[in-house]
């Protein structure tokens, strides 16, 4: 396929708005608006009394037809349905969203578009600032209704608030449905009865036990109305673009092919494979702490996170499918280590992200300990660019960029290394790097886990520091994981694979890897940094800041 130039791509779009869309969600007023859930005031929860009218279903996440309450609502309301995806310039920035993450999302959009086309419809993709795009679309298509899914991160909530205000002015009624979490987050907030959300998993599990199981998934939407002819055949509204067509990404070449392809169909296939693994025994024996960080083919966990993140897989469907398998066995692992337990971790962090102010940062975040991190740019760069001289850390950071996914324990090791373990650099910096490169990059989960690993919240055993040598060696004594991601060390003898600086020069020459030239010397002495940082942590915890 010929790749259109940047100009062609821009010409092909119907509305291109370049107004300033910088999020004002950091202002105290915006925070207050969010905290008071003002969104609730403008939305309609029942369609009983509504006459059918032209309806936009605005896809952001929930890139699927199965268990999609927003799409179902839109179909109920629509005399005519406009499935819309807005490429928001706030996100379209290779410094913010890396190649693999963006590619994965475009694949999810393509798959959704493919499904819609079976109903003589398609995904209408428009580039621009969402509030303005929606206003123009509503005016052009004379829409009565706008439906979208509830989002919980700060930027989205602030954006949605602006959308609701603008739609109110236009007389367009909005319907906001829950669909990205097991439970409606506002329902969970109401169940807190004004109390703070639980911050420990054990209390969260007790909390949801009182509420009961999450709602069952709804039927896959199958009665999508056809799109009006001129839009279906229109080339003035872009098709789902190729990544090379997106301004800013056109010059980036894919680091290496990522083994995970986006889309609802891939998500359902992958979920099914997990459910069928060892006739369900794999599911009921799953215990997260016992999974291996270095298994690559297949990975030792489901790798469903990127699909759940984009909403290509409904988390409720996954939950109930796991439950179905679990119910057919008498012996099974339990939350928090079981697979259902993993979904509860997610739910827990979503609830915290929804209710704790400034959850994604240190300042103003009541959960987060203030630790006097120090920024050393050259150390940070070495970490981010896989140049620390510690092969396991560098292999992991290479995997992050090439695949956009890491096993949970690998995330632990690199996060600990950057923060309290070795480099004493703020978790906020690590969180940004993960957000950019992870194909499952998720606002609430990422922030929560970074706080956890840096002992800034949830976890206090700061004396437990991951060794970048001894820890991975337990799983992979021959260093195959390192050899896979760091070809420069491919021929290093087992004895030196985790500590190549100890290899005699003769060995280094034999394997064509001279330390300090072909592969870096360690940027810090792990044992020394660990001791020093534990002392700093003792100070922090004694001060109880």
Ligand X SMILES: Cc1cc2nc3c(=O)[nH]c(=O)nc-3n(C[C@H](O)[C@H](O)[C@H](O)COP(=O)(O)OP(=O)(O)OC[C@H]3O[C@@H](n4cnc5c(N)ncnc54)[C@H](O)[C@@H]3O)c2cc1C
Which residues here bind ligand X, judged by CB under 6 A? 288, 301-305, 308-309, 339, 342-343, 345-346, 349, 407-408, 411-412, 415, 434, 438, 440-442, 445-446, 449-450, 453
Does 307 belong to an annotated binding site?
Answer: no
Residue number with CB closer to ligand X (345 or 519): 345
Residue number with CB closer to ligand X (55 or 68): 68
Q: Is the dihedral of CA 64, 69, 70, 73 positive or negative?
A: positive
Instruction: Report in angstroms how near the CB of residue 315 gets to ligand X at its nearest.
Output: 7
Contacts of 448 (CB under 8 A, 6+ apart): 348, 349, 352, 353, 359, 457, 458
Token pair, residue 179, equals 């669909």
The helix/strand/coil state of 395 is helix
Instruction: Report in angstroms how near the CB of residue 228 gets to ligand X at its nearest.
Output: 38
Instruction: Report in angstroms how near the CB of residue 448 gets to ligand X at its nearest.
Output: 7
Does 349 belong to an annotated binding site?
Answer: yes
Residue number with CB closer to ligand X (55 or 302): 302
Residue number with CB closer to ligand X (351 or 486): 351
Residue number with CB closer to ligand X (162 or 436): 436
Instruction: Report in angstroms how near the CB of residue 194 gets to ligand X at its nearest.
Output: 26
For residues 42-79, b (16+ Cβ closer than 10 Å) or e, as one string? bbeeebeeeeeebbbbbbbbbbbbbbbbbbbbbbbbbe
Q: Which helix (H) or strand (E) holds 125?
A: strand 124-127
Instruction: Report in angstroms how near the CB of residue 221 gets to ligand X at its nearest.
Output: 23
Instruction: Report in angstroms how near the CB of residue 349 gets to ligand X at its nearest.
Output: 5
Please report which residue ranges of 181-314 form alpha helices under DSSP H.
185-191, 201-211, 229-232, 264-276, 281-285, 305-310
Instruction: Report in angstroms how near the CB of residue 410 gets to ligand X at its nearest.
Output: 8
Residue number with CB closer to ligand X (99 or 434): 434
Does 524 belong to an annotated binding site?
Answer: no
Does 303 belong to an annotated binding site?
Answer: yes
Does 294 belong to an annotated binding site?
Answer: no
Cα–Cα dist 143/125, whole Å: 17
Instruction: Report in angstroms how near the CB of residue 415 gets to ligand X at its nearest.
Output: 4
Q: CB–CB of 250/26 below 8 Å?
A: no
Residue number with CB closer to ligand X (123 or 303): 303
The helix/strand/coil state of 475 is helix
Question: How far is residue 68 CA from its own chain's centroid?
Answer: 19
Does 342 belong to an annotated binding site?
Answer: yes
Does 526 belong to an annotated binding site?
Answer: no
Does 155 belong to an annotated binding site?
Answer: no
Please give the backbone phi and psi of residue 54, each rounded to the nearest 5 degrees, phi first.
-60, 130
* Percent of the chain as helix, strand, coil, to the nearest 5: 50, 5, 45
Please report which residue ranges of 25-180 form alpha helices under DSSP H.
28-35, 39-42, 69-77, 99-117, 130-141, 154-170
- Angstrom distances, CA of residue 439 to CA of 99, 171, 240, 346, 403: 9, 37, 18, 16, 8
Does 304 belong to an annotated binding site?
Answer: yes
Q: CB–CB of 375/429 below 8 Å?
A: yes
Does 327 belong to an annotated binding site?
Answer: no
Instruction: Report in angstroms how near the CB of residue 359 gets to ligand X at its nearest.
Output: 13
Does 440 belong to an annotated binding site?
Answer: yes
Q: CB–CB of 521/464 below 8 Å?
A: no
Residue number with CB closer to ligand X (115 or 449): 449
Does 58 belong to an annotated binding site?
Answer: no
Instruction: Compute how many other C-beta atoms are within 10 angstroms of the C-beta atom of residue 310.
Output: 28
Residue number with CB closer to ligand X (265 or 291): 291
Q: CB–CB of 109/63 below 8 Å?
A: yes
Q: Do strands 53-59 and 78-87 pair parallel, antiparallel, or not at all (unpaired)?
A: parallel
Binding site: residue ranges?
Answer: 301-305, 342-349, 440-442
Annotated binding site for FAD: 301-305, 342-349, 440-442
């Amino acid at each position: 396929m010929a790749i259109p130039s940047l100009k062609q791509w821009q010409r092909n779009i119907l509305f291109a708005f370049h107004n300033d869309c910088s999020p004002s969600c950091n202002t105290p007023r915006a925070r207050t608006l969010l905290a008071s859930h003002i969104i609730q005031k403008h939305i309609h929860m029942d369609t009983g009394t509504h006459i059918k009218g032209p309806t936009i279903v605005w896809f952001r996440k929930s890139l699927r037809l199965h268990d999609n309450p927003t799409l179902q609502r839109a179909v109920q309301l629509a005399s005519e349905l406009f499935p819309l995806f807005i490429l928001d310039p706030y996100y379209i920035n290779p410094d913010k969203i890396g190649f693999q993450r963006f590619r994965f999302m475009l694949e999810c959009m393509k798959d959704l578009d493919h499904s819609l086309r079976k109903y003589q419809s398609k995904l209408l993709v428009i580039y621009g600032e969402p509030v303005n795009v929606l206003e123009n679309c509503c005016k052009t298509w004379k829409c009565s209704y706008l439906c979208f899914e509830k989002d919980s991160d700060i930027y989205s909530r602030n954006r949605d608030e602006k959308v609701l205000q603008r739609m109110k002015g236009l007389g367009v009624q909005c319907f906001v449905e829950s669909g990205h979490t097991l439970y409606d987050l506002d329902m969970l907030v109401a169940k807190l009865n004004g109390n703070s959300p639980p911050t420990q998993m054990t209390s969260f599990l007790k909390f949801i036990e009182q509420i009961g199981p999450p709602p069952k998934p709804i039927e896959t939407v199958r009665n999508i109305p056809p799109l009006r002819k001129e839009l279906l055949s229109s080339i003035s509204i872009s098709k789902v673009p190729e990544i090379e067509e997106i301004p800013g990404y056109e010059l980036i070449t894919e680091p290496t092919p990522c083994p995970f392809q986006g889309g609802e169909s891939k998500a359902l296939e992958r979920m099914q494979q997990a459910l069928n693994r060892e006739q369900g025994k794999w599911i009921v024996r799953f215990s997260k702490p016992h999974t291996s960080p270095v298994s690559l083919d297949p990975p030792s966990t489901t790798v469903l996170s990127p699909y759940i993140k984009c909403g290509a897989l409904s988390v409720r469907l996954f939950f109930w499918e796991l439950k179905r398998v679990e119910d057919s066995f008498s012996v099974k692992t339990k939350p928090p280590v079981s697979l259902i337990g993993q979904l509860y971790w997610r739910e827990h962090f979503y609830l915290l992200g929804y209710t704790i102010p400034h959850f994604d940062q240190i300042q103003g975040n009541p959960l987060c300990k203030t630790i006097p991190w120090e920024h050393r740019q050259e150390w940070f760069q070495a970490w981010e660019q896989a140049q620390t001289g510690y092969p396991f850390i560098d292999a992991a950071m290479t995997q992050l960029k090439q695949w956009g996914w890491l096993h949970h324990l690998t995330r632990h090791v690199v996060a600990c290394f950057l923060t309290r373990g070795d480099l004493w650099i703020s978790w906020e910096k690590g969180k940004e790097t993960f957000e950019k490169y992870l194909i499952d990059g998720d606002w609430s989960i990422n922030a929560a886990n970074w706080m956890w690993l840096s002992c800034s919240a949830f976890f206090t055993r700061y004396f437990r520091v991951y060794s970048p040598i001894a820890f991975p060696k337990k799983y992979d004594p021959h260093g195959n994981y390192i050899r896979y991601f760091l070809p420069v060390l491919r021929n290093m003898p087992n004895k030196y694979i985790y500590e190549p600086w100890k290899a005699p020069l003769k060995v280094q020459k034999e394997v064509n890897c001279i330390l300090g030239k072909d592969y870096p010397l360690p940027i810090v002495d792990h044992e020394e940094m660990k001791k020093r940082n534990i002392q700093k942590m003792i100070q922090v915890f004694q001060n109880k800041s």
